[in-house]
Chain A
């Protein structure tokens, strides 16, 4: 079964450093998402991406966040200057719009900011 893959699985970074989280969505999917989950809390929507542009974003997704689909297969989330409160599990997800509208999630990238 095709799946969404994410790298790295775990990253530790110092506060103020830039982090790039990478995702390879399912190949025939058209919508891409990033979510985050702070330990012990619910899954929160960050951003959705379609047709090479952001289609919707939450209030969490401020100027320090950016997304990119640089090569038609990867989908990245960049955090420019990490803060302690950015420590969370970040999930990438994708879905296909015309049929099978299920959103498929990756296994997540655990980010620890120290």
Chain B
């Protein structure tokens, strides 16, 4: 499983766009990039997953450059309820690479009124 590096924490004002970048320099060809959100005392919740270029869903966008050595989770117009820890995971899903998925420390996003 590729090692990931994220900022430990970020602050943002309500209504702003937030971009959280994850570095994964040793990403393998078959690896996918997945982001999870976790609120205190709750299970991690899937946000978005991608392989390359850009993926968008109703919650967020995921930008992946051509070399795939990093990815950026973009949250449009955050609200107070987006205050959470965000985890970036990288792994080869099809070969069971998520059998031993390890979470890093994640990025603690604090949204300020």
Contacts and interface: CB of A to CB of B under 8 A. Distances in A.
Contact of B46 (A43, A48, A104, A110): A104
B99 A105 contact: no
Contacts of A42: 103-106
A58 B41 contact: no
A95 interface: yes
A4 to B, nearest CB: 8
B93 interface: yes
Say which size band chain B's interface belongs to: 20 to 34
B34 A105 contact: no
Nearest to A102: B46
B100 A91 contact: no
Main secondary structure of the interface of B (DSSP, over half): loop
A56 B49 contact: no
Contacts, number: 55
B105 A105 contact: no
Interface of A: 4, 31, 35, 42-45, 48, 55-56, 58, 89, 91, 93, 95, 97, 101-108, 110
Interface of B: 32, 34, 38, 41-46, 49, 87, 93-94, 96, 98-106
A-B residue pairs, 10 tightest by C-beta: A105-B43, A101-B93, A43-B103, A56-B99, A48-B99, A91-B43, A102-B46, A105-B44, A56-B100, A42-B103
29 contacts: A4-B43, A42-B105, A42-B106, A43-B38, A43-B44, A43-B87, A44-B102, A45-B100, A45-B101, A45-B103, A55-B96, A55-B99, A56-B99, A58-B100, A95-B98, A97-B96, A101-B93, A101-B94, A102-B34, A102-B46, A102-B49, A103-B98, A104-B46, A105-B43, A105-B45, A106-B43, A107-B42, A108-B42, A108-B43
